[in-house]
Amino acid sequence: MNNKLQKDNGIRVTKTSLWRRLGGALFDLDRWYEIWVTITHNKSRSFLTAFGVFWGMFMLVLMVGAGNALSKGISSQVEGFAGNSCFFWTQNTSEAYKGFRKGRRWDMLNSDVEIIRSKVPELQHLSPMLFGGSNDKNVVRGEKGGSYQVKGCYPEYDLIEKSKIISGRFINDIDIAENRKVCIIGERVYEVLFQTGEDAIGKLVKVNG
């Protein structure tokens, strides 16, 4: 330890003597006895103080953990999407328009998609999509089946939400032009409908009946 003298407001104090004073205060039995007496004589206040400190630390850890879990959950949900992508969907109308009543349900058509594409040349990729409900056993193969979300989309959608194809390929323009009955299933669907190691390519799967 460096014993070089230092000046502090005219008082000369060495580092060695400073550490001795701190050590003496730390191991001063009288001081610790006084603290113990204060705690035991004010049990309720001591308990509430300790509980307040514990509760504050617990809530801090809980909030940090929940925040990290939420952040990871959101990241896992959107990690496959392009960073500059956006989605539009229709809802019931809020106002009456040209004889049509308020609250009317409407849907976009493929012609609307082409109009959007022509009106917004800055768009790199555009794909319509339909969502199917997860009714009771809406995806079936033989005696096996389950309830899953079904999406109908165009080949260009793979450029917006990149799919991790393990086997086979994504749908292409020829599939659309020839109205081929093809689909891509997820790993969970494969595990339910097929045996481990079984090739699913070319097999018949009924979707929504």
Query: For residue range 31-84, what is the model confidence (pLDDT) as tens digits?
Result: 777 777 777 777 788 788 888 888 999 999 999 988 888 877 766 665 555 567
Q: Which residue has the higher pLDDT, 83 or 171?
A: 171
The share of the chain scoring above pLDDT 90, in percent, equals 11
- Spatial separation of the C-alpha atoms in residues 184 and 151, rounded to whole Å: 10
pLDDT (tens digit, 9 = 90+) per residue, 128-162? 888 876 667 788 898 888 888 888 888 888 888 87
Q: Do the beta carbons of residue 108 and residue 90 sit within 8 Å?
A: yes
In the predicted model, what is the mean pLDDT of residues 9-33?
58
Structure tokens, 99: 């004889």
